[in-house]
Amino acid sequence: MRNLIKVFGKNPSKAISLVEQGISKQEIFERTKQTVGLYNVNFDVYEGETFVLMGLSGSGKSTLLRCLNRLIDPSDGHILIDGDDIATMDDTELRKARRKKMSMVFQSFALLPHRTVIDNVAFGLEIQNISKEERYLKAEEAIAKVGLKGYEASKTSQLSGGMQQRVGLARALATDPDILLMDEAFSALDPLIRTEMQDELLALQDKLRKTIVFVSHDLDEALKLGNRIAIMKDGVIAQIGTAEEILTNPADDYVSEFVAGVDRTKILTAENVMKRPEPVVSINSGLPVAMQLMKRHGISSIFVVDNEKRIKGVILIEDAVQAVKEHKTLHDVLITDVPAVAPDLPVKDIIPMAADSNFPLAVINDNNKLMGVIVRGSILGALAIKVEDKNDLT
């Protein structure tokens, strides 16, 4: 999307030039009575990612999504898909791009109620000059993908909401588009069904690797589904980033307030709260080296690693002091039963472990390599928990 502007109203040209001068949406409305739906929007969506457009009602999510396939004509700017500008295509080119490149899934399902599941799914292929036989083969495949095998001959009006939206999804998938556009696709469903459909989409996306642009006003849904999320406000993108980036580094007060209620412990992982594993001591070193390092860095325990940085254990300062007096070696006081976590473990699962442990938690990869360490303080820092609330964790 390049410098995309959408003005609702009969005379957009004046409004467009005011947008280009940086005049606010509010002032443009006062001066021209034109509503700016999209205010100079720029962003990229990467191939194979799920990109979520997120924001309050009226922030411009649907307008932006509908510009992508020109259900809404943008007033100015460019929409480049594989280098072709959707914004300037004539009707023939546009029809071709819509057929080949993208499908849309609507909140309202938009099914033909008196037709069967398979007829609804095959419907999207009808306009593509594909033989009837092939249409129904492709429709069957798509129906199987969304878990509706066996329901091909059912009337869609007889299905539950969740199943109807599966039909909507199958219809979109039947044409095998590169891009799926989904506008609040799960918002009309009951909470349990909604969660189920989100999981289903994640599982499907794992296999299909479509490029998905998903509109949602629900932050939890956005955080769950989006590889990246764009937070919209008044036709402007306030911030684009991963869930972690947005939660840990909100671009402005608006985004901060928006994400304030989110349970960060579910989003942030070990990787996000760990510190660099420094210092560590080599398994080939002696106890005096370990003690020296702990003293110099003011720490009460130190991780022991081999030449490949694989974790061998931990040494506590009090054990080391005692051991030196008794002429023991590093191996004698090495604690090998060290609590370790994977980099992608959510913080909510780490907190109880950190609370029970006398030394930092080790974050290790699949090869036992020490990636980082987690001390209780760094969890609190990352969660930005106020000092007076700290008692819960200590």
Whole-angstrom Cα distance, residue 282 to residue 274?
A: 21
Regarding 57 and contact with ligand ADP (CB under 6 A), the answer is yes
Task: Give yes or no for residue 250 binding ligand ADP (CB under 6 A).
Answer: no
Does the footprint of ligand ADP cover residue 63 (CB under 6 A)?
yes
List the one residue from 62, 103, 156, 175 that touches Mg ion (CB under 5 A): 62
Question: Among the candidate windows 55-63, 106-114, 290-298, 325-333, which touches ligand ADP by CB under 6 A?
Answer: 55-63
Per the listing, tokens 């909510």 go with 348
Report which of 374, 392, 171 is spatially closest to residue 275, judged by C-alpha positions: 374
74 in contact with ligand ADP (CB under 6 A)? no
Q: Burial of 277 by CB count in 10 Å (0-12 exposed, 13-18 middle, 19+ buried)? A: buried
When the beta carbons of 62 and 156 are compared against Mg ion, the nearer one is: 62
Q: Enumerate residues 6+ apart whose C-beta is below 8 A from 279.
A: 293, 296, 297, 299, 302
- Site membership for ligand ADP, residue 24 (CB under 6 A): no
* Contact pattern from residue 34 through residue 53 relative to ligand ADP, giving x for each residue in contact according to CB under 6 A and a dash for the rest: -x-x----------------
Which partner from the list ligand ADP, Mg ion, none does 123 bind, CB cut-off 5 to 8 Å by kind?
none
The CA distances from residue 159 to 115, 153, 154, 183, 190, in Å, are: 12, 11, 8, 21, 14
Given the complex with ligand ADP, which of 61 and 264 has the nearer CB atom? 61
Q: Does residue 194 belong to the site contacting ligand ADP (CB under 6 A)?
A: no
58 is in the binding site of which of ligand ADP, Mg ion, none (Cβ under 5 to 8 A by kind)? ligand ADP
Q: How many CB atoms lie within 10 A of CB 391?
A: 7
- Which positions from 152 through 191 interact with Mg ion, judged by CB under 5 A? none
Taking each helix axis from N to C end, the angle separating 117-126 and 132-145, rounded to the nearest 10 degrees, works out to 120
Q: Shortest CA distance to 103 belongs to which of 30, 192, 168?
A: 168
Q: Give me the residues that bind Mg ion (CB under 5 A), please.
A: 62
Residues in touch with ligand ADP (CB under 6 A): 8, 35, 37, 55, 57-63
